[in-house]
Structure 1
Amino acid sequence: MAVVKLTTDNFDQEVLQADQTVLVDFYADWCGPCKMMGPVVEELAGEESNVKVCKINIDEEMAVAQKYGVMSIPTFISFKNGEVAGKQVGAVPKSKLQELIR
């Protein structure tokens, strides 16, 4: 499944109303660790058919980042049934993201 690009306008529909686990990557284009995690996130999206993988640019959608307490990037938050189920901050191995969505 392709990575879904989130905005303030589609966040509720794509994440909070999703009928599956959602992993959201909070990132910025200028962030080195975010760039490093990009291929890992893409790979995860291709492997995990039961998980929706999304990205949201904090520079463009600051209100969403603030709502979920994102202070450092990259930050990965998993959502289940519209609720935060887990959070991981920083560049991490793919296995850490897999743990986050289990």
Structure 2
Amino acid sequence: MSVNHISDVSFQNETGTGTVLVDFWAPWCGPCKMIAPILDELSAELGDTAKIVKINVDDNPESAAKYNVMSIPTLLVFKDGQVVDQLVGFQSKEKLKAVIAAV
């Protein structure tokens, strides 16, 4: 499975069911660029067990405001539409795997 880009319009639909890791990012963010290949690898490893999506905070300020995203990258883990965990800053693949496995 690949990492999909979502928008304010599609946010609720994309995070409403199952386990979803949402990466709030921006193109100018250094740590966001560093975590991108990790998210791609993790998405491939997880297959259908969890979905990983990215939302650009510059283009989609409504979702960032709704979830009080103050710095990026911020990673929110949703389970059936509800936030169950939040990570801020660069994270290792092992840490992300553990957080998703705990859901």
Q: Superposition pairs for residues 1-102 of structure 1, below 5 Å?
A: 1-15=1-15, 17-18=16-17, 20-49=18-47, 50-102=49-101
Corresponding letter in the other structure for 2:78: F
SS in structure 2 of the partner of residue 101 of structure 1: helix
1:22-76 CA-partner distances (Å, limit 9, x unpaired): 0000000000000000100111110002101000000000110111111110011
| Deviation >2 Å, runs of 4+ | none
Compute the TM-score of the two structures, normalised by the length of structure 2: 0.93
Structure 2 distance, partners of 1:67, 1:99, is 26
Corresponding letter in the other structure for 1:75: T
Whether contact under 8 Å (1:28, 1:58) holds in the other structure is yes
Alpha-carbon shift at residue 96 of structure 1 (Å): 1.3
Name the count of aligned residue pairs.
100
SS in structure 2 of the partner of residue 45 of structure 1: helix
What is the percent sequence identity of the aligned residues?
Answer: 46
- Structure 2: stretches of 5+ with no match in the other structure: none
Alpha-carbon shift at residue 7 of structure 1 (Å): 0.3
Structure 1 distance, partners of 2:79, 2:62, is 21
Whether contact under 8 Å (1:26, 1:55) holds in the other structure is yes
- Structure 1: stretches of 5+ with no match in the other structure: none
Alpha-carbon shift at residue 90 of structure 1 (Å): 0.3
